């Protein structure tokens, strides 16, 4: 078995390398055809070292960044070929530069006036960008949640973190030692909510619309939040059988990348949705794997989500939702915030989801509590307020950049002249 396992791993690595090499060639041809980016033009960079599988982390920022770019030009610094290729393909993505090696990165930085660098995740290659001083490094994340990811000590690596609201500050205060919350976090709400988009892929009728948006299986026991294999098949089967419900199934794009059985359960749910539509075309159940996020949150009467950023995406909509209780007791669950007051759905209760949906959808008291939590997590959610906060935070950092450089007066040599020997291996 060991030899078979090693051979399988070797095959996967070789296949990944070949895909990556092909992507590198395509990206370079595309960028060469498009022509060089303007020199000394961009003021804000979004650093993205991930591949196509994690594009969801970037997509939700496209529209807020497009608005920001009207005041401060924005570019994406892409380190991974498959990620760069996807960025080039997608409508609404910011301009990109592809810099697979440290030498490429240095050359680009030297030719631009980057003052603020934004990070949407905690990729280990972020560290290669941290070497460049005299510009602000800011963690903006790719969502708001109470997952353990939201309190990692890696927050300390950034000059600032843009957070959604008071809940995030409280969470970091409880967890991080010697971290100045007031000085290093800036509240911006959720600017993505000002740009919800998408067209309904069904015709509204009397059916109750239920959004089921599970996360992936996780790569360690403490992050085993995914419910597809424990809750998902039973609850989807029950809902599509009633003739009174419409299911929107929107799984995390990484579902099944670690656990083959989890991926198999995901595929069975897709098949169940397709079979239900074939039996009753008027049901118009939806398997949603598209890039748009917004219509799902706004249109669903009730949402069922795992512990993930989707909890808080839906929370901001102020409409009924349920959270799946992880079946793995080792999963880390923070019950000091909204999760202490939410509507839990256990794996045992999943087959009875129809009654649970009816109960939650009619509970006026629960909806009132929900609105209180919206304020705690996101502050003022009136249209345009979060975007104004986001722009204001960037303006503040630009002003601080000006102040620092006026005092510096060129006395410190450019960090782009650093002769440090660092790994400079181009991605295959």
100-114, 291-305, 390-404: least confidently modelled range: 291-305
Helix (H) or strand (E) segment spanning residue 119: strand 116-119
Q: What Rg do the C-alpha atoms of the chain give, in angstroms? A: 23
Q: Where are the alpha helices (DSSP H) in 241-301?
A: 260-279, 295-299
Interval 359-367 mean pLDDT:
86
Confidence at residue 336, expressed as pLDDT on a 0 to 100 scale: 77
Please state the pTM of the whole predicted model: 0.78
* Measured distance CA(387)–CA(218) in Å, rounded: 31
Confidence at residue 138, expressed as pLDDT on a 0 to 100 scale: 98
Specify the CATH number for 208-378; select among 3.90.550.10, 3.90.230.10, 3.40.50.2000, 3.40.50.970.
3.40.50.2000
Rank 53-67, 230-244, 410-424 by mean pLDDT and report only the highest: 230-244
Interval 374-401 mean pLDDT:
95
Interval 394-411 mean pLDDT:
85
Q: Does domain 21-189+385-417 sit in CATH 1.10.3720.10? A: no
* Measured distance CA(85)–CA(28) in Å, rounded: 9
* Measured distance CA(321)–CA(343) in Å, rounded: 7
Residue 6 or 38, more confident: 38
Confidence at residue 11, expressed as pLDDT on a 0 to 100 scale: 55
* Measured distance CA(53)–CA(48) in Å, rounded: 12
Contact (Cβ atoms closer than 8 angstroms) between residue 415 and residue 133: yes
Contact (Cβ atoms closer than 8 angstroms) between residue 104 and residue 113: no
**Mean pLDDT of all residues belonging to the chain:** 90
First CA to last CA across the chain, in angstroms?
A: 29
Residues 6+ apart with CB under 8 A from 27: 81, 84, 85, 88, 98
Residue 46 or 383, more confident: 46
Confidence of residue 409 (pLDDT cuts 50, 70, 90): low
Confidence at residue 237, expressed as pLDDT on a 0 to 100 scale: 98
Confidence at residue 426, expressed as pLDDT on a 0 to 100 scale: 47
- DSSP calls for 185-227: EEE---GGGGG-B---SS---SSEEEEEE-----SSGGG----
Tally Cβ neighbours within 10 Å of residue 133. 11
Number of residues written out for the chain: 428
Interval 34-39 mean pLDDT:
94
Structural domain spans, the chain: 21-189+385-417, 208-378
pLDDT over threshold 50, residue 384:
yes
Fold identical between 21-189+385-417 and 208-378?
A: yes
Interval 282-289 mean pLDDT:
97
- DSSP calls for 124-148: TTHHHHHT--SSEEEE--S----SG
């Amino acid at each position: 078995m060991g030899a078979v396992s090693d051979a399988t791993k070797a095959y996967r690595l070789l296949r990944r390398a070949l895909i990556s090499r092909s992507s590198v060639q395509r990206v370079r041809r595309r960028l060469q055809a498009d022509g060089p980016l303007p020199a000394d033009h961009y003021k804000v960079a979004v650093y993205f070292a991930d591949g196509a599988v994690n594009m969801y982390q970037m997509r939700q920022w496209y529209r807020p960044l497009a608005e920001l770019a009207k005041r401060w030009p924005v570019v994406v610094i892409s380190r991974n070929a498959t990620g760069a290729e996807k960025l080039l393909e997608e409508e609404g993505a910011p301009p990109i530069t592809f810099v697979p090696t440290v030498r490429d990165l240095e050359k680009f930085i030297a030719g631009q006036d980057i003052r603020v660098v934004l990070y949407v995740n905690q990729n280990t290659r972020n560290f290669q960008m941290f070497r460049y001083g005299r510009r602000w490094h800011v963690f903006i994340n790719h969502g708001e949640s109470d997952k353990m990811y939201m309190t990692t000590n890696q927050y300390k690596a950034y000059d600032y973190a843009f957070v959604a609201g008071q809940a995030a500050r409280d969470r970091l205060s409880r967890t991080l030692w010697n971290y100045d919350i007031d000085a290093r976090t800036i509240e911006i709400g959720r600017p993505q909510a000002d740009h919800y988009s998408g067209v309904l892929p069904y015709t509204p009728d009397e059916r109750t619309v239920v959004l089921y948006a599970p996360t992936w299986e996780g790569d360690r026991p403490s992050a085993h939040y995914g419910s597809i294999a424990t809750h998902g098949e039973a609850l989807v089967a029950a809902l599509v059988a009633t003739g009174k419900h419409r299911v929107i199934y929107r799984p995390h794009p990484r579902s099944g990348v670690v656990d083959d059985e989890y991926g198999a359960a995901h595929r069975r749910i897709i098949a169940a949705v397709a079979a239900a539509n074939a039996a009753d075309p008027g049901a118009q159940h939806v398997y949603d794997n598209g890039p748009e996020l917004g219509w799902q949150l706004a249109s669903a009467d009730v949402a069922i989500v795992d512990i993930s950023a989707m909890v808080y995406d839906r929370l901001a909509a102020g409409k009924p939702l349920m959270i799946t209780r992880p079946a793995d007791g080792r999963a880390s669950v923070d019950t000091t915030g909204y999760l202490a007051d939410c509507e839990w759905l256990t794996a045992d209760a999943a087959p009875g989801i129809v009654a649970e949906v009816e109960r939650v959808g009619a509970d006026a008291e629960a909806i009132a509590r929900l609105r209180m939590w919206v304020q705690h997590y996101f502050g003022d959610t009136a249209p345009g307020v979060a975007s104004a906060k986001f722009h204001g935070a960037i303006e503040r950092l630009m002003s601080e950049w000006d102040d620092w450089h006026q005092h510096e007066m060129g006395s410190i040599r450019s960090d782009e002249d650093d002769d440090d020997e660092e790994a400079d291996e181009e991605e295959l």
